[in-house]
């Protein structure tokens, strides 16, 4: 008879303890231990307790023996394009057969839609696809699929919450692509605790991953996120899979960002930008145009920054509003920007430039629901705040990029050439930059122009660089070149 074992598993870190503790001795989290009962498997395996349960029912595809590194053929396993360009970009060129991908995100962000869309397109392209859902009924999936164009009807759909129910279809269909929506709703018989608990999630995912590896299928697991935005379930889940993708976006906005947090087969720098439309998710080729669409060029308190996400430049508008503080302590509120960064920039503005800001309420945000974490955004944030304080709008054709040090000095940013080209493409004629970057770019340009005998003026040179050593100089430039707010034609007059 199988032996029963009781452990206390931490819901935060997944550590197991023989006795209950008020605080997890491993990660220090309070009140996170939950009792779980295991049925010990009959034969122990190398992949963890019973991890081979599902996989063991399938034939072994490859002999496990060592090979010389040089003899391993990489081209033997070509990547499978997902049919969704933005996803391929984030994955580094498509799915790798036998890989396991975890897709996390807030409820309603569009995880199921993305998975269904990719599964449907692969199936329509002739791949064998198995879509497993523990969350939605087969009818709901069909209804959703009807909203999405080009899915075809070849995909196999299985609605279950039992891991073991996948064994047969996995064996008979030999799918190239398997979607599990979501890993928290599935449970294996190997463990007694409820679906969604740490032990269940870990064990179910381990079994599914072992099977995918053995069969050479691509496995896409959808995962829930907790309130603080991390993937629900144990951290081991992230170690177990090859790629961790997060899908984020403001529900109030239609665009969604897809990022790789971990990627064994590619970079984690690239992001994908998608738009949730009435007929599913569509790729956004030009995110800058999307983000700048609603920009008001005449209001003070706005500055555009060419951000860099991976290798991809994106123009984003940063906005600030400065108002006299009616109460003792001024308020600072930010959206999409880091509080600490804005506080630091306010202090630098106050101490290193003539702008008096510490007694003012300051509200700052990145428009469009974008989250800006790059230090290169410093100059644009500071200029947006200064612009609102001075009531002078930056010229509409001007963008700014640069990191600011505590001494008020402007510091180097990476890939100014790419940022400048993107700004030029969207019609910006001036880019305020740290002097050190401008010098470097000029040196490089003159070097390569010499090599090309005279050179040729590229499109990005239509965007003039305006270099500054210090923030105070940039503020002086704003005072000189900024546009005072035109007298408002009041709404009240229109009513009269
Ligand atoms: P869903 O994929 O169910 O999110 P998740 O699986 O991450 O919880 O996303 C559903 C949301 O997207 C829902 O609010 C409706 C919306 N939606 C569209 O706007 N257009 C569409 O074509 C589809 C299928 C969904
Ligand atoms: Mg869903």
For 406-465, write each residue's pLDDT tens digit.
999 999 999 999 999 999 988 899 999 999 999 998 888 887 765 554 444 456 668 899
Quick one: pLDDT at residue 33? 84
Is the CB–ligand 1 distance for residue 108 below 6 Å?
yes
Distance CA 341, CA 375 (A): 8
Buried b (16+ CB within 10 A) or exposed e, 329-351: ebeeebebbeeebbebbbebbee
Nearest CA to ligand 1 atom 13: 108
Is the CB–ligand 1 distance for residue 17 below 6 Å?
no
Is the CB–ligand 1 distance for residue 109 below 6 Å?
yes
User: Of 148-157, 199-208, 285-294, which gets the smallest average pLDDT?
Assistant: 285-294
Quick one: pLDDT at residue 453? 46
Which residues, other chains included, contact 75 with Cβ-Cβ below 8 Å and sequence gap of 6+?
A: none
Task: Work out the number of other CB atoms within 10 angstroms of the CB of residue 197.
Answer: 20
Ligand 1 pocket test: which of 276, 279, 281 has the largest number of ligand atoms within 8 Å of its C-beta? Answer: 276
Cα 182 to middle of ligand 2, angstroms: 7
Nearest CA to ligand 1 atom 25: 280
Quick one: pLDDT at residue 53? 60
Ligand 1 pocket test: which of 102, 110, 252 has the largest number of ligand atoms within 8 Å of its C-beta? Answer: 110
Contact criterion met (CB below 8 Å) for 433 and 444: no
Quick one: pLDDT at residue 484? 84
Quick one: pLDDT at residue 51? 45
Q: What is the pTM of this model?
A: 0.76
Contact criterion met (CB below 8 Å) for 146 and 138: no
Ligand nearest to the CA of 105: 1
Cα 226 to middle of ligand 1, angstroms: 19
| pLDDT of residue 389 exceeding 80 | yes
Ligand nearest to the CA of 113: 1
Ligand nearest to the CA of 247: 1
* CA atoms within 13 Å, Cβ hemisphere of 228: 3
| pLDDT of residue 331 exceeding 70 | yes
Nearest CA to ligand 1 atom 24: 280
Atom of ligand 1 nearest to the CA of 114: 2
Contact criterion met (CB below 8 Å) for 90 and 248: no
Is the CB–ligand 1 distance for residue 144 below 6 Å?
yes
Atom of ligand 1 nearest to the CA of 247: 7
Cα 109 to middle of ligand 1, angstroms: 6
Is the CB–ligand 1 distance for residue 278 below 6 Å?
yes
Ligand nearest to the CA of 136: 2
Is the CB–ligand 1 distance for residue 252 below 6 Å?
no
């Amino acid at each position: 008879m199988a032996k029963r074992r009781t452990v206390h598993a931490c819901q935060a870190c997944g550590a197991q303890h023989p006795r209950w503790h008020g605080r997890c001795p491993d990660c220090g989290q309070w009140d996170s231990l939950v009792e779980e009962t295991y049925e010990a498997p009959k034969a122990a395996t190398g992949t963890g307790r019973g991890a081979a349960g599902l996989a063991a029912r399938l034939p072994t595809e490859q002999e496990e023996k060592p090979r010389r590194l040089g003899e391993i053929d990489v081209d033997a396993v070509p990547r499978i394009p997902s049919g969704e360009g933005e996803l391929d970009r984030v994955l580094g060129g498509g799915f790798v057969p036998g890989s396991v991908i975890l897709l996390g995100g807030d409820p309603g962000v569009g995880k199921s839609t993305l998975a269904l869309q990719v599964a449907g397109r692969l199936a329509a392209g002739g791949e064998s696809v198995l879509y497993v859902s523990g969350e939605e009924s087969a009818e709901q999936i069909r209804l959703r699929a009807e909203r999405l164009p080009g899915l075809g009807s070849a995909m196999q759909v299985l609605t279950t919450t039992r891991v073991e129910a996948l064994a047969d279809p996995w064996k008979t269909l030999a799918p190239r692509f398997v979607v599990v929506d979501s890993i928290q709703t599935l449970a294996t018989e190997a463990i007694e605790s409820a679906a969604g608990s740490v032990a269940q999630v870990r064990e179910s995912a381990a079994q599914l991953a072992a099977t995918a590896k053995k069969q050479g299928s691509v496995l896409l697991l959808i995962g829930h996120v907790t309130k603080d935005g991390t993937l629900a379930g144990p951290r081991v889940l992230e170690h177990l899979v090859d790629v961790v993708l997060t899908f984020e976006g403001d529900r109030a906005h239609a665009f969604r960002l897809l990022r790789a947090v971990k990627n064994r087969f590619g970079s984690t720098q690239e992001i994908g930008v998608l738009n949730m439309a009435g007929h599913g998710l569509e790729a956004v080729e030009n995110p800058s145009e999307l983000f700048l669409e609603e920009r008001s060029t005449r209001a003070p308190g706005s500055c555009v920054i060419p951000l860099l996400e991976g290798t991809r430049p994106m123009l984003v508008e940063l906005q600030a509003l400065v108002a006299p503080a009616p109460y003792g302590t001024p308020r600072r509120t930010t959206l999409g920007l880091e509080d600490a960064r804005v506080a630091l920039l306010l202090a630098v503005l106050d101490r290193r430039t003539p702008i008096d800001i510490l007694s003012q309420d300051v509200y700052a945000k990145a428009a469009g629901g974008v989250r800006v974490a790059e230090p290169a955004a410093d100059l644009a944030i500071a200029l947006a705040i200064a612009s609102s304080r001075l009531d002078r709008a930056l010229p509409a054709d001007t963008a700014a990029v640069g990191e600011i040090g505590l001494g008020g000095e402007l510091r180097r940013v990476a890939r100014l050439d790419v940022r400048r080209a993107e700004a030029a493409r969207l019609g910006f004629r001036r880019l305020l930059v740290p002097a050190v970057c401008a010098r470097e770019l000029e040196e490089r340009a003159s070097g390569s122009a010499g090599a090309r005998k005279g050179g040729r003026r590229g499109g990005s040179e239509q965007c003039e660089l305006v270099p500054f050593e210090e923030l105070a100089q940039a503020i002086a430039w704003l005072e000189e070149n900024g546009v005072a707010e035109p007298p408002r034609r009041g709404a009240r007059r229109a009513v009269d």
